[in-house]
Amino acid sequence: MRRRKFVETVGGLAAGVGLGTRFGADPLGAATWLLIPMDRQQSNHLKAYGVTFRTLQRGGKAEWLLNFRDGSFLFPLDRATERDAALQGVSTVQLTDIDVVNLRGTIAANNMDAVPLEKAPKVAVYVPPNQAPWDDAVRMSLEYAGIEYDRIWDAEVVGNRLTDYEWLHLHHEDFTGQYSKFYLTYSGTPWLTQMVQRNQLMARTLGFNSVADLKKTVAERIRTYVDDGGFLFAMCTATETLEIAVAARGVDVAARYADGTPMDPDASAKLRWERSFAFDRVRLEQSPITASFSDIDGHQVNNPAKRQPLGVSTLFNFSAKIDPVPTMLVQNHRSVIPDFYGLTTSFQRDRLKPGVTVLAYQEGASWVKYIHGEYGDGTWTYLGGHDPEDPQHRIGDPPTDLSLHPNSPGYRLILNNVLFPAAKKRELKT
């Protein structure tokens, strides 16, 4: 379903349509509802998403109260949900029918909305089978919150398995086939040697002449997945390299630094940006000694001559009733979030296509941090950076312990995206 129809579907739910009309059912005023508040009174924001997800998996009902106590969740009182929240250390409040009537009045009178969450999406994370010397913020957040997901890689994507999933995440993957240009710094390390061998074996097994050709086909399958109604969320390198690979139909954009083969000097002019999701008029990085991909990234963490310092990102405040989709994606108990590096940290404004929605930006900077848009029947969302709680994360650093960051505003942005498909009505494909 396109976004306009989605807005029509969820608009007006603050009047009490979302979970049925149980008001007045209990004249004694016993609690019949459960609220998970998501403001600063919440003891564990991240696990609250898992509690909500598992309620939907069990066939339960929930509402996402946009801009009410920073994006709280409301349920008909369900002992299983209540017990799950208690075991996870998630703060809850029991409400009576009268309480909920008053709550809905507050929502109706303010910049708030109540969006029904209908079904837990089936989640996939694109990740190679080996253990890389870096972590993945999305997988860590899913595992900490207790949200089930499947790991898939090139064989599953080429084999058209993406249709099994409503939500797909990409993180530290280079879809140009250049191994994130790690040859420039890590040549000869065992983990890079293994990465190259594994990718080359997969390319041969699937019948491709090169890893670059394989990754370009994988990127094209992901583009089709979104076009057909899938929900894509990407961070770090994947945001930039997926766009380059999708735009590179018929163009070789893989400068093979391992053997010294240069990139086509005219590659930038040949890219077809009408095929991409977010970016346009991009210039590829041609230098064989610079480990960046293009001029999309404003921070250029691996380009010493252009590297920019970190700052803070501010979330936009959207109209919940008019723009429920971006409102869902920015629900948070903090509106200003510390920045964090990644191989791709940010996105230059002058490279964004018209119609891209900016969700978070740095005041006075030429770049933005968090963007969203539609493509065909689906949506994509990009968050720059690698790990919201490790701003300078380096290869080989230990994974972030999320038990030390249960109220992380940066990780909340990730989990907003996981629940987003539960709220969006989708047309059946025939």
70, 100, 117 - which closes a domain: 117
We report the CATH number of the domain holding residue 70 as 3.30.70.790
Q: 100 and 228 share a domain?
A: no
- Across the chain, which distance is largest between two alpha carbons, in Å? 79
Q: 113 and 131 share a domain?
A: no
Q: How many domains does the chain have?
A: 2
Q: 264 and 337 share a domain?
A: yes
CA distance 327 to 370: 13
Number of H helices, E strands in the chain: 13, 15
pLDDT the model gives residue 262: 65
Question: Which residues are CB-contacts of 199 (< 8 A; sequence separation ≥ 6)?
Answer: 128, 177, 179, 211, 214
Range of the domain at 318: 123-423
Q: 67 and 135 share a domain?
A: no
Q: Is the pLDDT of residue 6 over 60?
A: no
428 inside domain: no
Q: For the segment 178-205, what is each residue's pLDDT rounded down to a tens digit?
A: 888 887 887 888 888 898 999 999 999 9
Q: For the segment 332-389, what is each residue's pLDDT rounded down to a tens digit?
A: 999 999 999 888 999 999 999 999 999 999 999 999 999 999 999 999 999 999 899 9
Q: 314 and 206 share a domain?
A: yes
66, 97, 117 - which closes a domain: 117
**Residue the block writes with tokens 């790690």:** 182
Q: 332 and 190 share a domain?
A: yes
Q: 209 and 329 share a domain?
A: yes
Q: Is the pLDDT of residue 3 over 60?
A: no
Name the β-bridge partners of 347.
368
CB atoms within 10 A of CB 97: 19
CB of 263 closer than 8 Å to CB of 365: no
The alpha helices in 150-210, defined as continuous H runs, are: 154-158, 183-186, 190-205
Q: 58 and 180 share a domain?
A: no
Q: Is the pLDDT of residue 411 over 90?
A: yes
pLDDT-based confidence at residue 154 (cuts at 50, 70, 90): very high
Q: For the segment 204-218, what is each residue's pLDDT rounded down to a tens digit?
A: 999 999 999 999 999
172 inside domain: yes
Q: For the segment 114-134, what is each residue's pLDDT rounded down to a tens digit?
A: 999 999 999 999 998 876 656
Q: 368 and 231 share a domain?
A: yes
Residue 360 backbone dihedrals phi, psi, to 5 degrees: -150, 145
324 inside domain: yes
Three-state DSSP class for residue 198 = helix
407 inside domain: yes
We report the CATH number of the domain holding residue 142 as 3.40.50.880
Q: Is the pLDDT of residue 301 over 60?
A: yes
429 inside domain: no
Question: Which residues are CB-contacts of 420 (< 8 A; sequence separation ≥ 6)?
Answer: 231, 325, 328, 329, 381
89, 117, 145 - which closes a domain: 117
Q: 292 and 219 share a domain?
A: yes
CA 392 to each of CA 238, 281, 301, 386: distance values in angstroms, whole numbers, following the listed order: 18, 29, 10, 9
pLDDT the model gives residue 130: 74
Give pTM, 2 decimals: 0.91
Q: 152 and 254 share a domain?
A: yes
Q: 166 and 252 share a domain?
A: yes
pLDDT the model gives residue 260: 53
